[in-house]
Chain A
């Protein structure tokens, strides 16, 4: 299984809602990532988990809260988002080190109204 899955595929939420994005991989990878991608822009790193511990937080606003319940799962909890947070949220995983090939999931298309 060389796949990273993400749910939901699409999400529409209001600025007062609380929602969560989920990511799962069963490749035994020990590093997992959240990226944000705006239209016609490159993926922008948000968080990195290494061996289930948060190793990088790219100064992301606290309305985004990551969680890594175990080595296969990665969540991104969303609260009080702004319309400018609308984007494609990509999860990725890699064997362990940052120089390893990253496998991306299909993403969650988020719209904040």
Chain B
């Protein structure tokens, strides 16, 4: 079936370093959203990308949507301990059975102080 894949599954980062997490879909997406879930918490919306090739920035976070609208990335610069959590991408799919968001498997980020 249609899936949204995320890599890496785990990311161990030294505080102050940069890292990138990637999201790939087998089909063209209408939009992509990114969520962050802190340990013991619930997913919190970060950003939405809609246009092909779109790039958005939020302070140290940079989000990209691929030209073919099948992939996306989240780049975090100068990682801080507050960045700990699991980052999920969620791809929007338009289907006859109903339009919905499909979540990727998530990238669990651990920060070493």
Q: How many A residues touch the partner, as a band?
A: 20 to 34
Contact code string A74-113 (vs B, CB < 8 Å = 1, else 0): 0000000000000000101000011101111111000000
Expressed in whole angstroms, the minimum distance between the Cβ of A4 and any Cβ of chain B is 9
10 extra interface residue pairs, beta carbon distance < 8 Å, beyond A99-B50, A105-B42, A106-B41? A41-B106, A43-B43, A43-B103, A45-B101, A98-B100, A98-B101, A99-B99, A102-B45, A103-B45, A106-B42
B11 at the interface (CB under 8 A from A): no
Number of interface residues of B (CB under 8 A): 24
Q: How far is the CA of A92 from the CA of B50 in the complex (A)?
A: 21
Expressed in whole angstroms, the minimum distance between the Cβ of B88 and any Cβ of chain A is 6
Interface residues of B (CB under 8 A from A): 30-31, 33, 35, 41-45, 48, 50, 88, 92, 97-106, 108
Expressed in whole angstroms, the minimum distance between the Cβ of A98 and any Cβ of chain B is 4
Expressed in whole angstroms, the minimum distance between the Cβ of B47 and any Cβ of chain A is 9
Q: In the complex, which residues of chain A have a beta carbon less than 8 angstroms from the beta carbon of B101?
A: 45, 98-99, 102
A98 touches B42 (CB 8 A): no
A41 touches B105 (CB 8 A): yes
A21 at the interface (CB under 8 A from B): no
A42 at the interface (CB under 8 A from B): yes
Interface residues of A (CB under 8 A from B): 40-45, 48, 55-56, 90, 92, 97-99, 101-107
- Which of B30, B43, B48, B106 is in CB contact (< 8 Å) with A104? B43
Q: How far is the CA of A92 from the CA of B108 in the complex (A)?
A: 22
- Given A104-B44, A106-B42: A55 and B98 interface contact (C-beta under 8 Å): yes
B105 touches A99 (CB 8 A): no
B98 touches A42 (CB 8 A): no
CB-defined A-B contacts under 8 Å, sample of 30: A41-B105, A41-B106, A42-B105, A42-B106, A43-B43, A44-B103, A45-B100, A45-B102, A45-B103, A48-B98, A48-B100, A56-B98, A90-B43, A92-B43, A97-B99, A98-B99, A99-B30, A99-B31, A99-B48, A99-B50, A99-B92, A99-B99, A99-B101, A101-B48, A102-B43, A102-B45, A103-B45, A104-B43, A105-B42, A106-B42
